[in-house]
Structure 1
Amino acid sequence: MSVFAVEYVYAAGSDDVRAEHRPAHRDFLAGLGTDQDGTALVASGPYADGSGALLLIAAPSQEVLAQTLKNDPFAIIGSIAALRMTEWSPVLGELSHHA
């Protein structure tokens, strides 16, 4: 199991549609780890400037995670302009037990 830092960059002008779908998006993220794909949410939250968000997600592989994130309501409605996924090793601090 690896931890991935996932960066969402929100599409310009998508504030209203994201606000509408935010409850479903948060339910989706909270539900990670309840199905059989092996993903689990470590932490997530939006950037203070509203430009995007950072998600830390444990997953068996980048391919599995990419497939899972296609089901995020924000992805389905097209409010994510760019997505960057990087394997991350938290060696110190409160999240280091995920390494």
Structure 2
Amino acid sequence: MPVFAVLYDYLTDSVPARDEHRPAHRQFLGTLTGPVNLLASGPYVDEPAGALLIVEATSVAEVETAMDADPFAVQGLISGRAVREWTQVKGPWA
């Protein structure tokens, strides 16, 4: 199954709101077990604030539809999102 990198950019002034909605966001991520399957996720360490998610799915459209339901997206805390098909050369999903 194809693997995709999902790159989130967060609104710069959204830290309190992200803190408030983080439990729901993480619960949502825990539900991604098919047809979009979350392989890994985590926030960037430095600025600009954002996160990287690695998912399996059949298409970009399927990933985008699933990510639209993320509480961070629903609450308008994501200023930008990119979904790119990704080929891992080395590692656990290669």
TM-score normalised over the length of structure 1: 0.89
The correspondence of residues 16-35 of structure 1 with structure 2, limited to 5 A, is 16-33=16-33
1:6-29 Cα deviation digits (max 9, x unpaired): 100001200000000001001101
Matched residue, 1:70: 68
The correspondence of residues 13-52 of structure 1 with structure 2, limited to 5 A, is 13-33=13-33, 38-49=35-46, 51-52=49-50
Displacement of 1:80: 0.3
Q: Distance in 2 between matches of 1:11 and 1:40?
A: 26
Q: Distance in 1 between matches of 2:66 and 2:59?
A: 11
Structure 2 unmatched runs, 5+: none
Matched residue, 1:11: 11
Q: Distance in 1 between matches of 2:58 and 2:92?
A: 21
Structure 1 unmatched runs, 5+: none
Matched residue, 1:58: 56
1:20-50 Cα deviation digits (max 9, x unpaired): 000100110111015xxx1100000000125
Runs of 4+ displaced beyond 3 Å = none
Displacement of 1:93: 1.8
Matched residue, 1:2: 2
Report the secondary structure of 2:85's partner residue.
Answer: strand
Q: What is the percent sequence identity of the aligned residues?
A: 45
Q: Distance in 1 between matches of 2:63 and 2:91?
A: 24
Number of residues of Structure 1 aligned to a counterpart in Structure 2: 93
Q: Distance in 2 between matches of 1:2 and 1:29?
A: 18
RMSD: 1.1
